[in-house]
Structure 1
Amino acid sequence: MTRYWEPGTTIEWVYEGTGRHADLPNVRPMTVVRDDADGLVAWLAPGTPLLKPVLVDGRETRHAGPVAMFTDDRVLKLDVWRGTGILKVAPPGRPWSVWHFWAEDGAFRGWYVNLEREHVRDAASRRTSTVDHVLDLWIDPDRGIEWKDEDELEGAVTAGRFTPAEAEQIVADAHAAIRDIEAWTPPFSDDWQYWRAPADWRLPAAPTTHQPTLIAEELHS
């Protein structure tokens, strides 16, 4: 039986490293908003401390280009989430999560479908783990759909991160997500765009399960 987390619980939303980068996960502490048979809903607050893989010179991995971003050496960086908060929903049985974005003035910007492996939960360690599938979709408030990072998916195949067959399946998953969007099924129809984080929620502590090789403060000195 699935053990659900209570609202307000701090969990770690983890994107596992793969291949030669298997020991370099992306770890985001988040606060549970809802967790039940309809899916996990969690909040990434502005300023949250996190761990993420970066290039050895401290730049984001995508700065290496659509192929080298999967092959160049990486280190872990202790950083903070610098954007506005993100509300993430992981629907059960779906190879994607749906992210809700807001502007600085609180206006809703849109939905982001992050293609990824179906989540694996570890109730004891309060972790939900997945693997990023690179390809993404952006949905405007008027429900217009834009494909994102197709060049990076092609680069991932060239770099050996995915096989051509795996990439075809990821594209098929994106089309399946689009069918859900066009049908306006949950979580799109759940009106999470009107949700706001309680004012008394505190920021989660920094992840302690991994020791970063590179510290954010050193990069900015």
Structure 2
Amino acid sequence: MFGFGDIIRRREILDGREWIVYPVRVVEDTEDHLAVYLAKGTPLTFGQGDFRWGNHPWANFDHIWQSDGVLQVQRPGDGYSVWHFWEGDTFSGWYINFQEPMRRDARGFDTLDQELDIWVPADGSSFQWKDVEHFEERQRLGGFHPGEADAVRTEAQRVAAMLDAGTTWWSDRWTDWSAPAIWEVPGRMDLSAPA
């Protein structure tokens, strides 16, 4: 288990290599979930070489996290994480990021964003599907392994059913959370360092 304030790394692994890596701070680590904070200005490190999905789409921008900080909460075995977004000090909503289930190691955790997302506004209005066209195009071009796209769709429908029924596991307790003022933006992660 990681401790409050620990700096760990979040890696997305594609084709057996690091596609993107960045540091996050641990907010809470329990048997049920891992909550980490991605601060504004955090450096993003992108893998080099040929990937089946091409370069990471964020590589075309400044290699830092540009929006306000985001709290990412993931549970073991889930094929998604719940990202909490703020605009300044105002909570703006939840972004359900469909991704491979997290795989922990001593330095952090690995996953891979699988393109499809859901946006849930803070005011409780209807949720919106995001990046559906990108997801379908990725499948059409053979970007997913056999059965992978179907597994993502199944997980997405399960989350949509939770949202429709109002039975989500994530609570409002994080909506008023803010990072401690003493937390500095972590430094760049070294891709060459051992896992």
Return the TM-score normalized by structure 2: 0.86
Displacement after TM superposition at 1:205 (Å): 1.4
Task: Give, in whole Å, the separation in 2 of the partners of 1:85 and 1:76.
Answer: 16
> Match of 2:71?
87
The aligned length equals 189
Displacement after TM superposition at 1:92 (Å): 2.2
Displacement after TM superposition at 1:192 (Å): 0.7
Distance change in 2, residues 1:76/1:47 (3 Å): closer
Unaligned runs of 5+ in 1: 57-68, 212-221
Task: Give, in whole Å, the separation in 2 of the partners of 1:136 and 1:74.
Answer: 17
* 1:139 maps to amino acid: V
Is the 1:53–1:75 contact (alpha carbons within 8 Å) kept by the matching residues of 2? no
Task: Give, in whole Å, the separation in 2 of the partners of 1:88 and 1:74.
Answer: 19
Percent same amino acid at aligned positions?
33
Task: Give, in whole Å, the separation in 1 of the partners of 2:52 and 2:26.
Answer: 31
Whose helix proportion is higher, 1 or 2?
A: 1
Displacement after TM superposition at 1:55 (Å): 10
Deviation string 1:170-215 (CA, Å, 9 cap, x unpaired) is 111111112333333322x24211101000112111111249xxxx
Are 1:134 and 2:134 counterparts? no
- Listed as ranges, the matches of 1:145-164 within 5 Å are 145-163=127-145
Q: CA RMSD in A?
A: 2.7
Displacement after TM superposition at 1:73 (Å): 5.8
Deviation string 1:14-38 (CA, Å, 9 cap, x unpaired) is 11123xxx43421120000000112
Are 1:167 and 2:149 counterparts? yes
- Listed as ranges, the matches of 1:182-221 within 5 Å are 182-187=165-170, 189-210=171-192
Task: Give, in whole Å, the separation in 1 of the partners of 2:115 and 2:2.
Answer: 28
Secondary structure of the structure 1 residue equivalent to 2:155: helix
Task: Give, in whole Å, the separation in 2 of the partners of 1:70 and 1:114.
Answer: 21
Is the 1:24–1:75 contact (alpha carbons within 8 Å) kept by the matching residues of 2? no
Secondary structure of the structure 2 residue equivalent to 1:179: helix
Return the TM-score normalized by structure 1: 0.76
Task: Give, in whole Å, the separation in 2 of the partners of 1:193 and 1:128.
Answer: 24
Secondary structure of the structure 1 residue equivalent to 2:44: strand
Task: Give, in whole Å, the separation in 2 of the partners of 1:54 and 1:191.
Answer: 39
Rg larger for:
1
* 1:11 maps to amino acid: I
Task: Give, in whole Å, the separation in 2 of the partners of 1:84 and 1:10.
Answer: 18
> Match of 2:32?
38
Is the 2:24–2:36 contact (alpha carbons within 8 Å) kept by the matching residues of 1? yes
Secondary structure of the structure 1 residue equivalent to 2:179: coil
Task: Give, in whole Å, the separation in 2 of the partners of 1:185 and 1:74.
Answer: 30
